[in-house]
Structure 1
């Protein structure tokens, strides 16, 4: 078909850093002081895109949740996903076969209508509870390991750090190839 095969997933990170291992002086346990009050968080949606004869790509977008607001969704909406897919289509310059999970936003009536309006887009759902088939899960794992034990005092600092780390991953095609290979899926044409 000459299409890009894209896997999509989303994740979030609050001001409280993920726990990680570290070194410390003998007899002194390292302590990380955190000011993780509130529900502020950075939501991330990412695509790993692959096509035979091209280097794999990582495309992402960020959504900030600055705290509680009535009637407002914390994470990505159908419109946010449509913007991400439109941007990916523009960057990749070809049709897209999208593989994603069964998140309620992905299977909603509004999302189905948006997908039907994009003739260049074909969508497949991953089986329930099968994150091991999605290479984007590895992106979030790699990102969160790099954020372990780092404290950020504001959402803006956390956002800048997340963007920097994701940008670094974009320029490491071998890392992206490794994340795809880890799924065990054979993506070579027959």
Structure 2
């Protein structure tokens, strides 16, 4: 089962699903049909079929939650090592500038720990440990507003030309002027 927001079930939702499976197990022992159980519990028929198969092979204990679908690849100890590596900066790891990107951190994790993460997985890992996305300022400190304004008024108009609402041959929703 996939979850579009990038994660699995929370502990609360996992226990709720487990309660549904226990209730389904009671209904299995009563001989109820899969479609009736699915309708009453508001789950898919396929889920009920999987639960019935597990219940018939292993009894009610087979319907117990097995915990989260996946565990973090980096333990807290390994993440502390990663933080020390990140503190050294990208230049220490062979990148030419001073910007950490998710792709670079992913590469660093692969090189240092031999673990494979996706960029989204790296973002989730960092967020889980209290890191946040830092976006640089959009304007350079060296920016001179008077030069930018002059360029926009003079040079850009020469390059682009004046913009007209309608020109001969242009499409328009209005009726052409009569001649």
Same fold, judged at TM 0.5 (above): no
What is the TM-score of this pair, normalised by structure 1?
A: 0.20
Identify the structure with the greater helix proportion. 2
Specify which structure has the bigger relative contact order, considering alpha-carbon pairs within 8 angstroms and separated by 6 or more residues.
1
Q: Kindly indicate which of the two structures has a greater share of residues assigned to strand.
A: 1
Structure possessing the higher radius of gyration over alpha carbons: 2
